[in-house]
């Protein structure tokens, strides 16, 4: 019997497994895909994650980027530099996720990929985790199966709705002198597009933050690609669901917790989920380690910790609600402000929180709605 079984080997699951294994707990990670696997994701990562780990992330950083450029319907550009100490990292998800798994394995975690979990049941004080090949037993269960996994439903945990999103990978030579994070706000209704440069391709992402229905992502990407003088028909579209945070809810049940995007631990204003998922994995490991030591309330404390994170995200959600309803005004009175990139950098670096800026931002956006006001 394992102390803990983690379902899903993405950043949230591997972070939890790493921290449990390094504290001497026996951990099994079950992953349905064969690693290294790709995950539709554009791979922008806050360097803040380094604080939770005792190893160096340098080998896995594809590049560091400071320059940010915004556009409205491919025009009216605004460019700016992040003022933070460390730039934003770009990581390729196939390599990054394998890198984290390797570190968990080095600490003693057992990783079994190509192994989908098809059923879980609680019996005789432990979790029986069924796969097509075998049934594994764990005292504790960590559901880390991402936006499209079944565990939240199986565990009876209430979850927010999923939204359609997509990544578009298009072959492109990266200019070594101009690594820039690009964001486009006018081409996609209720959402935005972004585009990050990698060595031999450009990864574009798209998410709608409001409304329902499936946007015409292929058409939006094609137009966006043309803005970079790229031929959209050479690109590859990967649709994926996204679970944006939309309210605090219980993230634990009997001897089980849910982490990462499976738990909708994703910023509802930016769709940033890697860093937040890793944080939830680190906190889940602390909770399960404490529970294994006999602390009865440890899993409830995990939910409380993530609710504190959610209290901050409610401000992100409020900003998104105003901004994406009236993005033209948001672009004019918000994005184009010189302080905007500074604040975004500070948010990504953890120097400030949404709650520190939300009231001012919402007031500014609302004032912009008044006729004649700028
Ligand atoms: C279009 C798009 C672009 C994005 N870009 C960014 C970005 O630039 N930066 C950022 O921070 N975030 C980004 N995100 C969000 C980010 O990709 C996710 O939030 C993050 O991957 C969540 O990590 P996770 O470990 O929770 O889940 P995942 O990385 O999704 O991992 C879950 C794992 O569980 C496995 N699994 C599922 N079901 C089972 C099962 N039954 N049995 C076993 N294994 C199972 C899956 O195969 C998968 O490997 C983006 C999301 C989208 C949709």
Helix or strand run (H / E) with residue 280: helix 274-292
The correct answer on CATH 3.50.50.60 for the domain covering 2-161+244-313 is yes
Task: Please choose from 8, 39, 130, 251 the residue to mutate so as to test ligand 1's pocket, defined by most ligand atoms within 8 A of CB.
Answer: 8
Number of Cβ atoms within 10 Å of the Cβ of 323: 22
> Which ligand 1 atom is the nearest neighbour of the CA of 46?
11
Integer Cα distance of 245 and 265 in angstroms: 6
**pLDDT at residue 334 greater than cutoff 80:** yes
Q: What is the pLDDT of residues 101-142, one digit of tens each?
A: 999 999 999 999 999 999 999 999 999 999 999 999 999 999
C-alpha 41 to ligand 1 mean position (Å): 8
**pLDDT at residue 177 greater than cutoff 80:** no
Q: Global pTM?
A: 0.96
> Which ligand 1 atom is the nearest neighbour of the CA of 147?
30
Integer Cα distance of 345 and 327 in angstroms: 21
Question: How do strand 256-258 and strand 191-197 relate by DSSP bridges?
Answer: unpaired
Task: Please choose from 145, 196, 279 the residue to mutate so as to test ligand 1's pocket, defined by most ligand atoms within 8 A of CB.
Answer: 145
Q: What is the pLDDT of residue 374?
A: 47
Distance in angstroms between the alpha carbons of the first and the last residue of the chain: 64
C-alpha 96 to ligand 1 mean position (Å): 12
C-alpha 344 to ligand 1 mean position (Å): 23
Instruction: Tell me the pLDDT of the chain averaged across its residues.
Output: 93
From atom 26 of ligand 1, which residue's Cα is the shortest distance away? 260
**Percent of the chain at pLDDT exceeding 90:** 80
Where do the domains of the chain lie?
Answer: 2-161+244-313
Q: State the DSSP string of 92-152.
A: -HHHHHHHHHHHHHHTT-EEE-S----EEEEETTEEEEE-SS-EEEEEEEEE--TTT-SHH
Q: What is the pLDDT of residues 344-365, one digit of tens each?
A: 778 877 788 898 888 878 877 7
- Which among 166, 164, 163, 195 has a CA at the least distance from the CA of 179? 195
Q: What is the mean pLDDT of residues 323-347?
A: 85
**pLDDT at residue 87 greater than cutoff 60:** yes
**pLDDT at residue 175 greater than cutoff 80:** no
C-alpha 196 to ligand 1 mean position (Å): 18
Q: What is the pLDDT of residues 10-20, one digit of tens each?
A: 999 999 999 99
Residue ranges around ligand 1 (CB below 6 Å): 7-13, 30-33, 39-45, 116-117, 144-146, 149-150, 165-167, 205, 207, 240, 242, 260-262, 266, 271-275, 277
C-alpha 346 to ligand 1 mean position (Å): 25
Q: What is the pLDDT of residue 310?
A: 97
> Which ligand 1 atom is the nearest neighbour of the CA of 238?
1
C-alpha 148 to ligand 1 mean position (Å): 8
C-alpha 214 to ligand 1 mean position (Å): 20
């Amino acid at each position: 019997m394992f102390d803990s079984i983690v379902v899903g080997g993405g950043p949230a699951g591997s972070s939890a497994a790493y921290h449990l294994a390094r504290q001497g707990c026996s951990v099994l990670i079950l992953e349905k895909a064969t690693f290294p696997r790709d995950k539709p994701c554009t791979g922008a990562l806050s360097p803040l994650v380094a604080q939770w780990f005792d190893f160096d992330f340098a080998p896995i950083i594809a590049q560091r980027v400071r320059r940010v450029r915004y556009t409205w319907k491919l025009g009216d550009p605004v460019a700016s530099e992040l003022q933070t100490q460390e730039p934003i990292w770009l990581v390729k998800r196939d390599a990054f996720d394998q890198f984290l798994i390797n570190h968990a394995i080095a600490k003693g975690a057992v990783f079994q990929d190509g192994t989908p979990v098809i059923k879980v049941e609680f019996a005789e004080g432990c979790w029986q985790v069924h796969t097509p090949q075998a049934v594994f037993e764990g005292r504790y269960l960590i559901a880390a199966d991402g936006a499209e996994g079944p565990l939240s439903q199986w565990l009876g945990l209430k979850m927010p709705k999923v939204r359609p999103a997509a990544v578009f990978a298009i072959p492109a030579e990266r200019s070594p002198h101009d690594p820039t994070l690009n964001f486009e706000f006018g081409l996609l209704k209720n959402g935005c597009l972004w585009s990050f440069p990698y060595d031999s391709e450009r990864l574009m992402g798209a998410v709608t933050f409001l409304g329902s229905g499936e946007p015409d992502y292929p058409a939006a990407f094609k137009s966006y690609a043309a803005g970079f003088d790229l031929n959209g028909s050479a690109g590859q579209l990967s649709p994926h669901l996204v679970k944006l945070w939309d309210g605090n809810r219980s993230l634990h049940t009997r001897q089980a917790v849910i982490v990462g995007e499976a738990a909708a631990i994703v910023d509802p204003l930016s769709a940033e989920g890697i860093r937040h998922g890793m944080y939830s994995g680190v906190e889940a490991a602390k909770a399960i380690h404490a529970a294994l030591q006999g602390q009865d309330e440890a899993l409830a404390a995990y939910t409380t910790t993530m609710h504190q994170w959610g209290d901050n995200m409610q401000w992100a959600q409020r900003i998104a609600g105003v901004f994406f309803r009236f993005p033209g005004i948001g672009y004019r009175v918000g994005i184009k402000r010189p302080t905007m990139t500074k604040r975004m950098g500070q948010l990504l670096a953890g120097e400030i929180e949404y709650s520190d800026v939300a009231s001012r931002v919402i007031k500014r956006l609302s004032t912009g709605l008044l006729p004649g006001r700028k």
